[in-house]
């Protein structure tokens, strides 16, 4: 308490009080000197007055030198920062207004540096987006152009080959549309343009219906679903269409990368404040680095692991799932141990927006 009172009275936290005490000290020192000098005149001015003025000026310069130097440091720091060196920081060695100014300048520089770095990341992200889109759209488009060229030149031997060319062209066109739809959906989700249409639905019934619909594709992929779903209804408020897409991406991902023949376990559990949808499968192990990038857009851990019955996507599935779940105020997690994968969607009872 005494230290705080002394700090306030001494002016350690206030440059105004410092100036007051400096002025008082200069007056006292100049008065003592003026009294001690001999009585006389210099240039028709009393020597005592000249001594008073000279002592006051010298004492004021000496006592305020530290403050002036720090103000010069502030000026130099602003010059360096305004010159583009946003990593420069002014030493904060005072606890008065000048120290606060130095702290604010440093905070401003840090904020500007953060904003510029964020802008660079956005620009880098845009370039990666363009690169990823170009790469993933080029393959089916090249195939379509190739098959159309063969058909235009009538470079087919019989009707059977003609039908095969037509079928392949149609499949590649559908793949191209799927990629464009995924890209469009991801862009809307990440830019906040997608509004949730919330309804109270039976999540248990929706999940059970999805597994029934995917059963033929699972059989073609040599995969079996094991559902661990409660028998009683589980009502939750969410956007059913978007959540179906999020869960479908996890199920398709599990079918693609499961060992063949494979087992995909789908579990639905309820907690006090939310629900958890878990999808487990066994596949080829991935590294920690690959695991850290799985939810990034256009990232594909290993295209060669994709099942033959399911076409490889653009690497947007998990990114779309994460965006949809976050829009609902939930989270998506991955637990991986030696090729055993468990993706879990955790949702609150009420969507956040």
* Cα–Cα distance measured from residue 85 to residue 87, given in angstroms and rounded to the nearest whole number: 5
Mean pLDDT along residues 25-29 = 87
3-state secondary structure of 268: strand
pLDDT of residue 129: 66
Q: How confident is the model at residue 306 (pLDDT cuts 50, 70, 90)?
A: very low
Q: How confident is the model at residue 144 (pLDDT cuts 50, 70, 90)?
A: confident
Residue 156 in this model has a pLDDT that exceeds 60: yes
pLDDT of residue 191: 66
Mean pLDDT along residues 287-301 = 65
Bridge partners of residue 268, in order along the sequence: 277
Kindly provide the b/e burial profile for residues 65-90, where b requires at least 16 CB atoms within 10 angstroms of the residue's own CB: eebeebeeebeebbebbeeeebebbb
Q: How confident is the model at residue 150 (pLDDT cuts 50, 70, 90)?
A: confident
Strand residue runs (E) in the chain: 41-42, 45-46, 199-202, 223-228, 235-238, 262-270, 274-282, 331-337, 340-348
As a whole number, the mean pLDDT across the chain is 79
Mean pLDDT along residues 207-217 = 87
Distance of CA 235 to the CA centre of its chain: 32
pLDDT single digits (tens) 325-352: 888 888 888 888 888 889 899 988 765 4
Q: How confident is the model at residue 2 (pLDDT cuts 50, 70, 90)?
A: very low
CA-atom Rg of the chain in angstroms: 36
**First vs last Cα of the chain: how many Å apart?**
49
In whole angstroms, how far apart are CA 317 and each of 54, 60, 299, 348? Answer: 80, 71, 10, 22
Short-list 176, 267, 171, CA closest to 228: 267
Short-list 127, 121, 143, CA closest to 311: 143
pLDDT single digits (tens) 56-105: 888 888 888 888 888 888 888 888 888 888 888 888 888 888 888 888 88
pLDDT of residue 181: 76
Cβ contact 319:279 at 8 Å: no
Cβ contact 89:6 at 8 Å: no
Residue 298 in this model has a pLDDT that exceeds 70: no
pLDDT of residue 336: 83
pTM, 2 dp: 0.53
Helix (H) or strand (E) holding 170: helix 159-190
Residue 28 in this model has a pLDDT that exceeds 70: yes
pLDDT of residue 303: 46
Length of the chain measured in residues? 353
Q: How confident is the model at residue 304 (pLDDT cuts 50, 70, 90)?
A: very low
């Amino acid at each position: 308490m005494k230290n705080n009172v002394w700090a306030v009275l001494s002016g350690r936290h206030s440059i105004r009080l410092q100036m007051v005490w400096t002025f008082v000290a200069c007056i006292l020192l100049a008065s003592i000197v003026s009294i001690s000098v001999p009585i006389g005149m210099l240039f028709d001015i009393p020597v005592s007055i000249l001594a008073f003025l000279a002592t006051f000026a010298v004492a004021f310069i000496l006592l305020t030198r530290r403050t002036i130097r720090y103000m010069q440091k502030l000026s130099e720091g602003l010059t360096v920062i305004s010159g583009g060196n946003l990593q420069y920081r002014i030493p904060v060695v005072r606890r008065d207004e000048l120290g606060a100014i130095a702290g604010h300048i440093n905070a401003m520089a840090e904020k500007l540096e953060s904003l510029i770095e964020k802008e660079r990341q956005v620009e880098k992200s845009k370039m990666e987006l363009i690169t990823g889109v170009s790469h993933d759209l080029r393959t089916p488009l090249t195939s379509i152009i190739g098959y159309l060229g063969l058909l235009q030149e009538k470079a087919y031997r019989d009707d059977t080959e003609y039908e095969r060319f037509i079928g392949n062209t149609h499949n590649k066109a559908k793949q191209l549309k799927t990629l464009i739809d995924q890209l469009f959906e991801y862009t809307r989700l990440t830019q906040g343009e997608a509004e949730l249409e919330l309804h109270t639905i039976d999540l248990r019934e929706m999940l059970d219906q999805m597994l029934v619909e995917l059963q033929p594709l699972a059989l073609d992929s040599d995969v079996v679903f094991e559902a661990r779903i409660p028998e009683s209804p589980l009502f939750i408020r969410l956007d059913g269409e978007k959540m179906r897409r999020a869960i479908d991406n996890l199920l398709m991902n599990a079918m693609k990368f499961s060992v063949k023949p494979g087992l995909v376990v789908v579990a639905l559990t309820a907690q006090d404040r939310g629900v958890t949808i878990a999808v487990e499968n066994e596949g080829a192990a991935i590294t920690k680095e690959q695991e850290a990038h799985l939810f990034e857009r256009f990232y594909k851990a290993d295209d060669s692991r994709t099942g033959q019955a399911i076409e490889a996507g653009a690497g947007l599935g998990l990114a779309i799932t994460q965006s949809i779940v976050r829009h609902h105020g939930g989270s998506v997690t991955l637990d991986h141990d030696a090729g055993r994968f468990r993706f879990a969607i955790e949702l609150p009872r009420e969507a956040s927006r």
